[in-house]
Amino acid sequence: MHQKFSKEVTKITTNLKNLSKYEDEMWLCARCGDCSLADKTVASNRDVYLPCAIKNVLGFEAFAARGRIMIMNDLLNERIPLSNDIVDWAHTCTTCKSCMETCTATADGINLPDMIEALRRDLVQNEFVMPKHQVIEDSINELGNPYKEPSGKRLELFGNRVWPETAPVIYYVGCTSSYREQEIARTTVELFDKLGIDYTVLPEEQCCGSVLLRLGRTKSFERITKMNLEQMKAAGAQTIVTACAGCYRTWKIDVPNEGYKYDFELLHVTEFLDRMVGEGKVSFESPKPLKVTYHDPCHLGRHAEVYEAPRRVIESVENVTLVEMETNKRYAHCCGSGGGVKGSFGNLANDVAGNRIREAEETEVDVLITACPFCHKGLVDGAKHIDSELPVVDLPEFLLPFVRKGRKRIMAENPLKKKFMTYLTAHPKIFEGLKKGATIDYDLEGDRFHVFVTGKSQIDVNPVRAENPDVELIFAPKAVEKLITFDSEDEYAARFGLFFKEPTDDEWIKFVLRLNIVKLLMKGYRKFAQKAGLI
């Protein structure tokens, strides 16, 4: 650890009422260690690689889910006391959900992030706190933001602009973009102006409360949420758009979970732009070829399952090629900033972000794009920390210079894709055994389509990529040319398996599992894999 931890004070307590709700779930941990040690070879071709970005830096088992569960169990059973060391340790988890995504002890994975947040609530209630967290809470209560900035200055970054009182779309700016990453707010507004969006901002926007919830300080959440909701209602909001992944998770998941209802639509800016691109209302063009990679913010990806919208928007930019990092989407390494880690242990956050920058550098791209001001700040600091010159930009900033209004990018249609789709439509028995809702994405030299199972041996074949597929299949064109010659589904399955197990230079199939084995079995993939001789 790089920072001095607080002085030890100990106190035995039995008052862990929030954490104790998870005691049964803790016993489901099989101590397998996948949550920190899994990699592709042992994780069945998932893009998993040492999932806990924090443990990857700190090295000790105590910082990965398995160790954390053992320690929390000992706390519950009073084998170890609450102490300031426990406070520090509890705030080294980014609650990124990567361990949960990797864990197969339960269908959804053991919910370590919620356990850590429950423990943080108990720590606050037992008066084991970090003084700097109290400062954050006080700042939110007094000034409406966690940065001790004057509330009246929130809109100053937009100059003297007079905002309409009502509009169908509200841009919810968020505290980090308002005060620390102002370029993101300015470019988002410039982009919205360029696209002719009828929108406004809230006159007295308050912090979304994410930081309060992440730090176990739930008391002040009610007041700020009510203030924000009242203003959104008064502005006649139909759609709230935010460019911050933390705000998005809070409004999408936490606000309803805390018992508040709203009737507006909530979109992250990546979803909002994706919709506009899809409707042909905007297109983008880079004047020169660019290779880029994309970092999934944990609060947008794993927490809210938005993986494809940002990628579709990036790929819609003419002359831009998206190259994935080794860990991406569900298994993307965290940037190290979330869950209060950046504010609590800045050096640790920088080390984690530095590792993510190294991962991005391996793709040999020109730019690393992300879609959250907090990730942006963390990654920029991480790049400095390891002396990397890789530019890190937020998605609206990246897109702004490339706006080409109205003209939709015409993608040349791959004729083989069409033939493959027609073949699969005529052979639904290939998908026999898969449960309704199973979704497989097909990738033919970057051209994508997906199969959605609608019932017993009934499928829809859609010409676009799936939103959240269970499995991604990647085909060499020659493999497809051969596969679509088989009349019999059994012959198709057998050859499919052969192309995977005994690939040649021209005829091969690769696959990436996007769900863990437990979920795949529940969706009926056993029969599918057996027919292909894969298990």
Contacts to ligand SF4 by CB under 6 A = 29-35, 51-52, 54-55, 64-66, 68-69, 93-99, 102-103, 105, 110, 112-113, 334
Nearer to ligand SF4, 70 or 323 (CB): 70
Question: Minimum CB separation from ligand SF4 for residue 344, in Å?
Answer: 13
- For the four alpha carbons of 47, 51, 56 and 59, in that order, the dihedral sign comes to negative
Q: Measuring CA to CA, which residue among 24, 106, 37 is closest to residue 65?
A: 37
Q: How far is the CB of 120 from ligand SF4 (least distance, A)?
A: 12
Pairing mode, strands 239-242 and 265-268: parallel
Strands 509-513, 82-83: parallel, antiparallel or unpaired by DSSP?
unpaired
Q: Which is nearer to ligand SF4, 110 or 479 (CB)?
A: 110
Cα gap 523→520, rounded to integer Å: 5
Residue closer to ligand SF4 (CB basis): 118 or 269: 118
DSSP bridge pairs for 394: 370
CA 106 from centroid of its chain's CA atoms: 21
Please compute Rg for the chain using Cα positions: 24
Which CB atom, from 98 or from 206, has the smaller least distance to ligand SF4?
98
Which residue's CB is nearer to ligand SF4, number 38 or number 240?
Answer: 38
CB of 102 to ligand SF4, least distance (A): 6
Listing from the earlier edge strand, what are the strands of the sheet with 239-242?
A: 199-200, 169-172, 239-242, 265-268
Structure tokens at 345: 């242990």
Q: Which two tokens stand for residue 159?
A: 């100059």
Q: Find the helix or strand (DSSP H, E) in which 147 lies.
A: none
Report the distance separating Cα 270 and Cα 296, nearest Å.
Answer: 11
- CB 525 → ligand SF4: shortest distance, Å? 20
Burial letters 448-459, b for 16+ CB under 10 A, else e: bbbbbbeeeeeb
| Of residues 52 and 353, the one with the C-beta less far from ligand SF4 | 52
For residue 73, the minimal CB distance to ligand SF4 (Å) is: 11
Q: How far is the CB of 45 from ligand SF4 (least distance, A)?
A: 17
CA distance 464 to 133: 45
The answer for 340, left when phi > 0, alpha when psi is -120 to 50, beta otherwise, is left
Contact status, residue 338 vs residue 373, Cβ threshold 8 Å: no
Return all residues near 179 (Cβ < 8 A) that are at least 6 apart: 145, 147, 149, 153, 154
- End-to-end alpha-carbon separation of the chain, Å? 44
Give least dist CB 300 to ligand SF4, A: 15
The residue ranges of DSSP E strands in 402-508, in sequence order, are 403-405, 439-444, 447-455, 458-462, 471-475
Residue closer to ligand SF4 by CB (options 55, 531) is: 55
**325, 345, 328: which is closest to 336 by C-alpha?**
345
Residue placing its CB nearer to ligand SF4 in the complex, 33 or 278: 33
Q: What is the smallest separation between the CB atom of 360 and ligand SF4, expressed in angstroms?
A: 19
Least Å distance, CB 342 to ligand SF4, is 13
For residue 103, the minimal CB distance to ligand SF4 (Å) is 3
204-224 exposure pattern, b = at least 16 Cβ within 10 A, e = fewer: ebbbbbbbbbbbbbbeebeeb
Whichever of 209 and 336 has its CB closer to ligand SF4, that residue is 336
Report which residue type is found at 472: E
Alpha carbon distance 175, 373 (integer Å): 10
Work out how close the CB of 121 gets to ligand SF4 at its nearest, in angstroms, rounded to a whole number: 16
H-run or E-run covering 495: helix 489-501
At closest approach, how far in Å is the CB of 495 from ligand SF4? 35
Which of 335/383 has CB closer to ligand SF4? 335
Nearer to ligand SF4, 96 or 300 (CB): 96
Cβ distance to ligand SF4 smaller for residue 95 or 250: 95
Residues in contact with 261: Cβ distance below 8 Å, sequence separation at least 6, in sequence order? none
